[in-house]
Structure 1
């Protein structure tokens, strides 16, 4: 039986060569010359979501949207939420404030023009909002975003705010809502259960149990994410990757589709803007023709 709580299904729309772990091996200047596999993987995801009656949030790179406009429209026309993942997957700790401001404004307008929907949400590359750059929340608020899902409240060598809020909050008392990635509290420790590499690494029953406990014990939705390339075990493999990077990126790719199918079937899923509709001050309902809010001009 599906949980009565609706959990958030989110997709970080980026291709295999755009992940932060590859940035020392593949430059942004090389991206346009590499075989892009995003369309095939997105079509598979849309088919899986349709089979299970799932609506989701697609955090989309502006770089991808410019080159795959019809794909973005297919996502939006299927009733899913289009949100921003920044333009070219630059971590916030590698941008100054002005560069970040220009990036989030540019990408928001680009995605709105392509999809015909107002973009409410943002997710930083590699969850790179941390304790040193909370100013990013103020910039997102000023740029017209209603929420961010950019904080992972765990300890990690590349990102995270250990001890940060586990559930949605308003940073600095502003109007922007930050919706952190989900963790399970176990014996004083936080265990990641929001998807990505952890979902591929853990046995399915462990992930299932942690999500169930967040729903039942905390009475909160799980915020889950994955990437299109995680459903693509045949993707090209750059040379020169170290053992840690190879393990993180490629571990259990061949099992991801079957595990994701189980997850879609066993839990109730929705888009972030729908689940947090009241907190975001969005009108109801956000489905069908009423979900599409055409952008003026």
Structure 2
């Protein structure tokens, strides 16, 4: 008989060792942070479709993103924009952390992402084909590209992340909830988790859904359209993109000499009040 391998005892600390960003304001952490320091306003008129007939005409778009520069050609037909943005951020975060998933134990690194809408643009395109031409014109990739779990799945396949993984669907609180879930996996003995949140619904179907919810700002001036925590707030503005972090067990990160950008000692998240609460 072979004795079972000892269970590694993890610390309570999650060390953040890598960051990847694809968001309004910039693709790549340095570009995005430079825009923040400049006070760059990332909200502007919608350019991804003609929104002139919609009550809301502004969005936070990720500009300057070349799909083919970040995503292998074979993945382009089977991914929505949100997954392509997430793949770009995942690659940056892993490179920034200077971590090689293949050098870890087979199930040592997982991925937990937050996503509230799935591949809306992809789904809209395929539904248009269904209703205008018929079912024969709906591609096979519709079976998974629209799904909110597509980001975690494609990132896992691309980087060989076979550890405990999952998806969190909790809208505005999603990114924090994903980090909390990643920390739980580390406390159970995981070595590393790629975690964060991404969404991309700047398309007619996405705008229709946001408008139906009743919370979308219809102001035309980018400077006053989105004013969180202000008495003059008029709702939210649709944005796309997000960020991913590499979170490692603190002891494991220090043992490999990783650059630790910060630590997560605990997590908490809140959500919007119920409608009508002000």
Q: TM-score, normalised by structure 2?
A: 0.29
Structure richer in helix, relative to its length: 1
| Greater C-alpha radius of gyration | 2
Q: Which has the higher contact order (CA 8 A, sep 6+)?
A: 2
